[in-house]
Amino acid sequence: MLKKSGSDVRCVTLPAGVFYNGDCISGAALYIPDGSVDLIITDPPYGIFGDTLHKHYNRNEKFVVDGYVEIPEEEYGNFSLLWIREAERILRPGGSIYIVSGYTNLYHILAALKMTGLKEVNHIIWKYSFGVFTRKKYVSSHYHILFYEKPGGTRTFNLESRYGLNEKNGDGRSLNNTDREDVWQINREYKPGVVKNKNELPPELLEKMIQYSSNEGDLVCDLFLGGFSTAMAAIGLNRRATGFEISPAMFDARIPAIERMEPGSLLSLLRAPAREPRKNQRKAWTDEDIQYLVREFDKRRTSGETKKAIIAALGDVLGRGHWAIVKALKKSAGDN
């Protein structure tokens, strides 16, 4: 259902989330409440005249949807500060943000981040294939991914969401550790003849960030939706999704695909990690652990964290699984 939701923002409300066609800075200020988002994954315009970028690339431009909106170089610094301040406001305490950036304007994004309360977790290098062709210099084939957190709450980091801690490859190297190195080699998808956004991010990259940094039911936001690739991956992994795209052409072209995306449809395609049993699994609870659990749970609920995030975090601390924590909380509520 498409409707006008404000002066120059249209919105589409779907079971998996609300999507806005308009500027993310003024749009978020109007429509996204403080502390309501668990995870932001976003890929802002590069400020390198992306709307004419195709002239440098040898590819058939007729499949790139018109309307990619670029930011003039001289406005990039201020633009970055404005949208990153909005991102900080809408993130919950403990929420995570991943910003994908090229090298040219990276310094503007880093400077803007420094002017907020967001804190660096990792600076990831994403290496991909299909670098820009050169003859007299090395071929540029990486992007930067700035992984930051909003302090003040528990950050979701699902350590064994993709590989169990004891899983090894044929050479005896830890698969979990390798997957968590800060250089990621993930190729861009080559999709000849398919309607796409310029610089569309590959699903594998998005799924990795979503798996590590959110839980099912969490709200994932992309302030620059482009081809809606973040939203597609989030809905497919049974998260809620929201975001903004300023280009009406891009927005209208992608809404049908989002409408068709089945919530949770990607979950069965994920690799099942071989997890070790939790260290206190099947052991009786001590009074001390129960008191700690109830005290911490209440404290974190008061600070606005989601139940799921708190249960995951306390499960790690107490060496217990999700259901053991839920049962212990129910029992202690019944006892009081």
Name all contacts of 68-73 with Cβ < 8 Å and 24+ positions apart.
68/197, 68/198, 68/226, 68/247, 68/250, 69/45, 69/246, 69/247, 70/45, 70/46, 71/44, 71/45, 71/47, 72/47, 73/47, 73/48, 73/105
One residue of 97, 247, 261, 328 binding ligand SAM per CB under 6 A: 247
Instruction: Single out the segment in contact with ligand SAM by CB under 6 A; choices: 22-30, 85-93, 158-166, 305-313.
Output: 22-30
| Token pair 């309501």: residue | 36
Using the minimum distance from each CB to ligand SAM, give the nearer residue, 221 or 313: 221
Q: Nearest approach, Cβ of 207 to ligand SAM (angstroms)?
A: 13
**Alpha carbon distances (Å) from 92 to 79, 86, 159, 304, 311:** 22, 12, 20, 8, 16
244 near ligand SAM (CB under 6 A): yes
| Binding-site string for ligand SAM from residue 25 to residue 44, where x marks contact by CB under 6 A and - marks none | x-----------------x-
Q: Considering the rule CB under 6 A, would residue 102 count as an interface residue with ligand SAM?
A: no
The answer to the question of residue 84 lying near ligand SAM (CB under 6 A) is no
Distance CA 299, CA 75 (A): 42
Name 42's bridge partners.
99
- Total number of residues that touch ligand SAM (CB under 6 A): 20
| 68/184 with CB nearer ligand SAM | 68
Contact pick of 12, 16, 24, 210 for ligand SAM (by CB under 6 A): 24
**Using rule CB under 6 A, residue 21 touches ligand SAM:** no
216 neighbors 311 (Cβ within 8 angstroms)? no
Residue 23 makes contact with ligand SAM by CB under 6 A: yes
Regarding 238 and contact with ligand SAM (CB under 6 A), the answer is no
The packing angle between helices 76-90 and 24-31, to 10°, is 20
**Which of residues 145 and 314 has its CB atom nearest to ligand SAM in the complex?**
145
